[in-house]
Amino acid sequence: MIVGVLALQGAFIEHEQMLRKLGVSTVELRQKADLQNKPDALILPGGESTTQGKLLKDLGMFETIRQWIMEGLPVMGTCAGMILLAKKLSNDNKQWLQTFPATVRRNAYGRQLGSFITRAPFKGIGEVTMNFIRAPYIESISPGVEVLAEVNHHIVAARYKKQMILSFHPEIGEDTRIHKQFLQMVTK
């Protein structure tokens, strides 16, 4: 299995390290030429969604990646990645790939003081540590979306078909269980 990690900006190296720990090969997607071979799954890392979205378009990568996801390529979007996948953003008039039928709020915990760590249950795993960094959360979901985790009554992780979105950063720390769950979704 080869997982493509979008490597334009943000926390992509940490995802690659997690996957390496799990014995999975990765390929960095940095430019259009990197999309010649379709990977078995995709990770859209945290970072700054506007920058990432613009780069995807400017580099001519946007349509291929959107098409791949629409065709069912499994994808995990964390933080900025969640924003890129959301069908709608409640507090931003931009929109990006729009493949995940949910409304997401950017910088939902505030811009400056919006970073924190907590522990909460994650469906199918149990309690996990969650690192929030100027994170979004999910304000509403469409039918067919499965909630995977909630913190303070806000949805912070969800799944729709082969797409998984997370408000927090599962690539921080030593816990590989969320990546493992994602890989199970890829192989099923």
Ligand X SMILES: NC(=O)CC[C@H](N)C(=O)O
Which residues form the catalytic set?
79, 169, 171
DSSP H helical ranges for 40-152:
49-58, 62-70, 80-85
Q: Is 105 in the site for ligand X (CB under 6 A)?
A: no
Q: Is 5 in the site for ligand X (CB under 6 A)?
A: no
The answer on whether 49 is annotated among ligand-binding residues is yes
Q: Is 133 in the site for ligand X (CB under 6 A)?
A: yes
Q: How far is the CB of 180 from ligand X (least distance, A)?
A: 22
Q: Is 83 in the site for ligand X (CB under 6 A)?
A: yes
Bridge partners, 127 (sequence order): 121
Bridge partners, 137 (sequence order): 105
Q: Is 106 in the site for ligand X (CB under 6 A)?
A: yes
Give CA–CA dist 164/55, Å, rounded.
Answer: 22
Q: How far is the CB of 131 from ligand X (least distance, A)?
A: 9
Give CA–CA dist 8/21, Å, rounded.
Answer: 22
Q: β-pairing, 146-151 with 154-160?
A: antiparallel
Of residues 49 through 78, those in contact with ligand X by CB under 6 A are 49
Nearer to ligand X by Cβ, of 47 and 170: the residue is: 47
